Amino acid sequence: MKSALTGLVLGLACTTGPTAFAAQRVSLINIDGAIGPPTASYISRSIEEARAQNAQCLVIQLNTPGGLLDSTQKIVQSFLGSPVPVVVYVSPTGATATSAGCFITIAATVAAMAPATTIGAAHPVSIGGFPSGGEEKTDQTMKQKLENFSVSYIETIAGKRQRNIEWAKSAVKESASITAEKALQLKVIDLIAADMPDLLQKLNGRVVDGKPLNTAGAKIAEVKMSPAERVFQKLWRPEVMFILMLIAIYGIIGELTTPGAILPGVVGAIALILALYLAAILPVNVTGLVLIGLALMLFIFDVYATTHGVLTVGGVIAFLIGSLMLFNRADPLFRLSLNYIIPATLITAAFFIFVIGKGLRAQLLPVQVGAETLVGKTVTALTPIDSHSGRIFVEGEYWNAVSDIPIEKDAHAEIAAVQGLTVRLKRKDR
């Protein structure tokens, strides 16, 4: 009996010992697309989740053409302050880490790339991002300031991570771009891995912050985007902002021209708030917005002015140019396609010409129905009419009537005003 108990105790000890612990965990997220506020929020939250799960590291599978400067800075700050090693893996084959992606890769604790991937081209072309950030400045001084800042910023990051500083500076100054193999040779990255299992195998045993990574055979736990992050990742695009702006225009002006409809005003107000939110994030050109506003004014003025469509033609031209200038078309990342601009221009012109134009003109027409249409009509007094009482028959109805000057029965009078259920008359000679 004693030997049986001893065997049971030994068996429990074996199953609860170190060899029975669950496999090590590696957190994984996938960034495929432009870098923006939702991306920065997602990465920051993933770092915290990786820490809470005691993960060996957080692997970020990256494929990006660039993004916004503010978001890139937040991501870099998250990396440098992360309690968990962050591995940026430029993957799959054919992926790129250009522009903002170059800064993010260099800032990683461990930088890795798949074969046949590229990194570089980090020269900023505007104030808001890499290279897509904001309103383009023709002033050479501002461009030089932005370039100097970007050079010093990537130099600091590369120095912190002990990577090739000279090449990092050339990526900003000269838009240098290299393959994964060349990046490994120049010590821009730490390793090349064919796929995720190969990456985990090569990370295994690598000492990070004095502690070796234990990733061989580790369990991969993917951190998903939250619903809110997923929605905003879809929303913060130039075409979405453009469509929201059009909905706001149609809804609010539709409500103003047809008071009481309510629904157009509510939808327009919601769209306006969302469009303003995106305008604060996306690199919007103020001149483009001003031209679109001018186009709307020209459309409305043409309703009241007899210009034979001259103002409408001017409005169409202003709207088209404003839409083209709304975002930086030189940058494919935030380029608003002509497939959106041309139909939007035609629909907006038609909206103001046929819908709003007809509505406003209808409001300017004389009243066609109701008590107000009685004013000016000639009637015959059915009874003597004075300032206190009297009766007339008009438009198939009997009305109470009063007059400051007495009117005899069967005399003709003209309706001067309608006051509730009583009409005020003025004498009219035959």
Which single residue is written with the structure tokens 């902002």?
241
Q: Give the pLDDT score at 55.
A: 93
d(CA 97, CA 183) in angstroms, rounded, equals 12
DSSP state for residue 21 in the 8-state scheme: S
d(CA 338, CA 344) in angstroms, rounded, equals 9
d(CA 424, CA 401) in angstroms, rounded, equals 6
d(CA 405, CA 407) in angstroms, rounded, equals 6
> Alpha-carbon torsion 92, 98, 102, 103, what sign?
negative
Helices (H), 204-259: 227-235, 238-257
Bridge partners of 391? 400
d(CA 393, CA 422) in angstroms, rounded, equals 12
Q: Give the pLDDT score at 127.
A: 39
Count of C-beta atoms within a 10 Å radius of residue 412: 14
d(CA 300, CA 312) in angstroms, rounded, equals 9
Per-residue pLDDT 10s for the chain (430 aa) are 444 444 443 343 443 443 334 468 999 999 998 898 899 999 999 999 999 999 999 999 999 988 888 889 999 999 999 999 999 999 999 999 998 999 999 999 999 999 999 999 887 754 344 444 444 444 567 677 878 888 999 999 999 999 999 999 999 988 899 999 999 999 999 999 999 999 999 999 999 888 899 998 889 999 998 888 888 877 778 888 899 988 988 888 777 766 667 788 889 889 889 888 888 777 788 888 899 888 888 877 776 666 666 788 888 888 889 888 888 655 566 777 788 888 888 888 887 777 665 555 555 555 555 566 777 788 888 888 888 888 888 877 888 888 888 888 888 888 888 887 788 888 776 5
Q: Name the amino acid, one letter, at 216.
A: A
Q: Give the pLDDT score at 358.
A: 58
Burial class, 198, CB count within 10 angstroms (exposed 0-12 / middle 13-18 / buried 19+): middle
Domains detected in the chain: 21-229 (3.90.226.10), 237-364 (no CATH), 371-427 (2.40.50.140)
Count of C-beta atoms within a 10 Å radius of residue 16: 10
Rg (CA), the chain: 36
